[in-house]
Amino acid sequence: MKNDTALDTLPVITLRGVGPRSAARLAVLGIETVQDVLFHLPRRYEDRTRVTPIGALRFGDHAVVEGEVELAQLAYGRRRSLLVRVSDGSGALTLRFFHFSKAQQQNMVRGCRLRIYGEVRKGPATPEMVHPEYQRLAEGESPQVEDRLTAVYPTTEGVHQLTLRKLSDQALQLLEQDCLPEWLSAELLSTHQLVDLHTALRYVHRPPADAQLEALEAGVHPTQRRLAFEELLAHHLSLRRLRERARRLRAVSLRPGGELTERLIGSLPFRLTTAQRRVIDELLQDLAQTHPMMRLVQGDVGSGKTVVAAATAARAVDNGCQVAVMAPTELLADQHLQNFTAWFEPLGIRVGWLSGKVKGKARAVVLDELAGGGLQIVVGTHALFQQDVVFHQLGLIVIDEQHRFGVHQRLALRDKGRAGALLPHQLIMTATPIPRTLAMTLYADLDTSVIDELPPGRIPVQTVVIPDSRRDEVIQRVRDACRDGRQAYWVCTLIEESESLQCEAAEETARLLTETLPELRVALVHGRMKEADKAHCMAAFKAADIDLLVATTVIEVGVDVPNASLMIIENAERLGLSQLHQLRGRVGRGALQSSCVLMYRGPLSQMARKRLAVIRETGDGFEIARHDLELRGPGEVLGTRQTGMVQFRIADLIRDQALLDKVEQAAGYLLECEPQNVQPIVRRWLGKSVRYGEV
């Protein structure tokens, strides 16, 4: 295993054509070394290996053609454009340019020959190519076509495809000197039937003319599979190492002794499900350890995650520690505050509130009580980890809907509990079920528990999908439900890409419904309202002083009104599966038969049609999450706002599911038998990227 030139440390600026300015632009793409060039992998390929007769072109094809210019003229419509008609005897093709120079226009003279590459589209008179690549051919010139498929790379402003191809040519020449280490042993390659690294890199950058383009485009070619395997392995190893490092950290052991957890459970007005009991037992076992608990609790909408968190919090309080409960929105945090207050204060445990809206003397009082230890549980938003917040002894952090927080926010709160060498335990909850394939790769640093049972008596919500042309029927349905003593939500989803316009739309909807349903008490809640007004409105709805609540998606999580049995979602086609499932979960929380009406504005795209069909046919959050992952991909499912969100270069968690068990086996083998190869693999694929949960 040679490492003479060390391409992983050879700066990209040593390649021809790379100066300080272009090096800075390449750094935006994560390209700083020659190894980075080799691992900046193509996202698709173009077949420029043959010239296609114009008459044989099909719409949607990307093709190379040669033709003679017959006519060049300016066209004036909504936009000025240069139209160039070329022919080759088999047919005619129009080239359309919206951006062009005077010289470009003058060069398009009748009779000159062009070689052209672009996508074929339908035009008014002939097939068209818009802004194709082209070169002017001299008399009698017929240059050779490409002898390999042409790679198309991810790029950024100021970095062109031609630049990336020239750089990868140079990097591949250096690779021929056998100076890039292969970190997977011959035994691993043989066991998992993988080609060697050099073969894989050469092939994916410069596939031969006879390569299976369909396999490459689908990402299933053996050379791509080899690289995807190593990339998944790198991510998995990085998280396994974080987990092992976390186990070397120390935490206060929260042992059984007092009876607060059982007293809390015994005082509840409902019985816990078997799944809740099982998850509580898992959490309490973790808390008794001397290293920090790092556990993710998944549970579908309405499965009772909050009470599980409360039972865990009781153990921490029993051991003289404080508990911080953090939620991403004030509405959700306020819901947790109400529940924790109702459950704990009768037991003599004080629960405090801290958000960005708590200011002045009220804030000073909370901060004093936290620092002095007089406040055992505090609920809030990101305000919990601001610099002036000091805890007396923070033993447990509960984070709800964790994927809405960035890495640094979560770590800042954890550091609040650092007491010398001791760190607090962490309980992370999500109502966005994460399929096993995703959890294996993204959360290998966390233990996982699943609340896979809903409380008894829950009746599945009936879901219907109808066009908004039947709005009058929907309004009558609201009228009937409220006349029977039920309550209803009417959710206005994002119509414009602006929160203010969204709120205006909700205000207009509330006004129209108030006029149409004068016998009902109609109220409005949206994200731009003052928190006090929002909280007052929600309290009134919960107390049944409001019949119909018009809202934006601010009510997506955390709102629990058992008497609400009807949910109307406008423009449902604009929402993802997870969000639709969360909104639907606001009803069906009592013993009444509940309904959800998904109102859409046609025509529906194929993707929207699939989403609405899935949400209508199943109420299983894990099944919905699986479909959501297939339709949108993991980045969208988890939210791209998360700092350090995993971004794959070639791997795909849906396509490459079959590799994940093998990746897990290979990781175990490397950690046990070849630990010296772990860090280079991680560094090669992840570089300097921040990982979720880093310690």
Residues near 392 by beta carbon (within 8 Å), at least 6 away in sequence: 322, 370, 371, 372, 373
Sequence spans of domains, the chain? 12-46+150-211, 54-137, 260-451, 462-618
Helix axes 678-686, 660-673, angle to 10 degrees: 130
CATH superfamily for 260-451 is: P-loop containing nucleotide triphosphate hydrolases (3.40.50.300)
* pLDDT at site 532: 77
Question: If you ran DSSP here, which 8-state letter would residue 51 be given?
Answer: B
How far apart are alpha carbons 306 and 279 in whole angstroms? 12
Whether 582 and 433 have beta carbons less than 8 Å apart is answered as: no
Q: What residues have CB less than 8 Å from 533, skipping those under 6 apart?
A: none
- Mean of all residue pLDDT scores within the chain: 87
Are 216 and 37 contacting, i.e. CB atoms less than 8 angstroms apart? no
What one-letter code names the amino acid at 328? P
3-state secondary structure of 660: helix
Please tell me the class of the 462-618 domain.
alpha beta
Alpha helices (H) in 373-416, listed in sequence order: 407-416
The reply to whether the predicted model has a pTM over 0.75 is no
**Model confidence at 476, in pLDDT bands (50, 70, 90)?**
very high
Q: CA of 129: how far to CAs of 29, 50, 132, 416, in Å?
A: 29, 17, 6, 59
At 444 the pLDDT is: 67
Could you give the angle at the alpha carbon of 37 between the alpha carbons of 32 and 43, nearest 5°? 125
Residue 142: CB atoms within 10 A of its CB come to: 11
Of 398-407, 527-536, 604-613, minimum mean pLDDT range: 398-407
Give the number of other Cβ atoms within 10 Å of residue 498's Cβ: 11
Domain 54-137: which topology? OB fold (Dihydrolipoamide Acetyltransferase, E2P) (2.40.50)
Q: What percent of the chain has pLDDT over 70?
A: 90
Amino acid at 365: V
Tell me the pairing of strands 62-76 and 80-87: antiparallel
Please state, in angstroms and rounded to a whole number, the distance separating the CA atoms of residues 177 and 230. 22
pLDDT band at 263 (very low <50, low <70, confident <90, very high): very high
- Our CA angle for 272, 275, 278, nearest 5°, is 95
Cα–Cα distances (Å) from 108 to 71, 100, 113, 125, 135, in that order, read: 8, 11, 9, 20, 11
Rounded to a whole number of angstroms, the CA Rg of the chain reads 30
Count the Cβ atoms, other than its own, within 10 Å of residue 473. Answer: 10
CB contact at 8 A, 54 and 195 = no
Query: Coil, strand, or helix at residue 493?
Result: coil
**Strands of 447-451's sheet in order across:** 351-354, 377-380, 322-326, 394-400, 425-430, 294-299, 447-451
Q: What is the mean pLDDT of residues 561-569?
A: 92
Q: pLDDT tens digits for 529-562?
A: 887 788 788 889 989 999 999 988 777 555 678 8
Cα 173 from Cα 179, distance rounded (Å): 11
**Could you report the per-residue pLDDT of 57-100, keeping only the tens digit for each?**
999 989 999 999 999 999 988 889 999 999 999 999 999 999 89
Identical fold, 54-137 and 260-451: no
Q: Which residue has the higher pLDDT, 515 or 657?
A: 515
Q: Give the type of residue at 214.
A: E
Which is more confident, 483 or 436?
483
pLDDT of 627 reads 80
The token pair that represents 645 in the structure block: 């969100």
Beta-bridge partner residues of 658: none
